[in-house]
Amino acid sequence: MQDFNAVESIGLHIYGTYLLFTATNLKPQEERDMNYTKIVLFAVMVLAAGACSPKIYGTVQLLDPTLQPIPPAKESPQGTVVNMINTTTTLEKASGAVISDGEGKFKSGKDQVTPGMYKVEANRIGYMTETQTVKIKKFGSKKVEFKLKKIPEGNRKTIEGSKSDEDKIVNPGEVNIQPPTM
């Protein structure tokens, strides 16, 4: 157990984002303990700063044509594509995409998102595409919730000659097929 009577003063001063420790009249063991405390606090601050990088995250929920939620056990939202398009940056960092997991959760990759305005779009075969606009700040994150409505069978367009049902499904407005010119 440490003898705190030998310490005249210990202080923690916060200057902006920096921590300053002061201690006077410490014994060698107490100095080592103070140095260890400084190292641990520095490591925590570095980890916290890394967690503050901008990101876009959220969930995708599938709805039937009557807007009732479809249970994940019946049809999983896994594999839904979420595109993130930065409309205010250079072309090199303009877009990225992720895929939702079995619970419908998604999260942008590290360093995938830079500050700016984003069009975030969730799409899945057989469902209406949904788009939301979000603003991302330097250390900000934004949660985006998507509810994709299933397209009723009668409203789907089909392509003759397709081999499977997934090949036949085309969301209205997604394809513009022109006849070949001769």
pLDDT of residue 170: 53
Contact 45, 61 (CB under 8 A): no
Q: Which two tokens stand for residue 174?
A: 């997604």
**Cα gap 93→112, rounded to integer Å:** 8
Start and end residues for every CATH 2.60.40.1120 domain found in the chain: 55-153
Q: Which residues of the chain have pLDDT under 70?
A: 1-27, 30-32, 34, 40-52, 90-93, 154-182
**Cα gap 83→87, rounded to integer Å:** 12
pLDDT of residue 134: 92
Identity at 104, one-letter amino acid code: G
pLDDT digits (tens, 9 = 90+) for 87-123: 887 666 678 899 999 999 999 987 788 888 999 999 9
Q: CATH homologous superfamily for 55-153?
A: Carboxypeptidase-like, regulatory domain (2.60.40.1120)
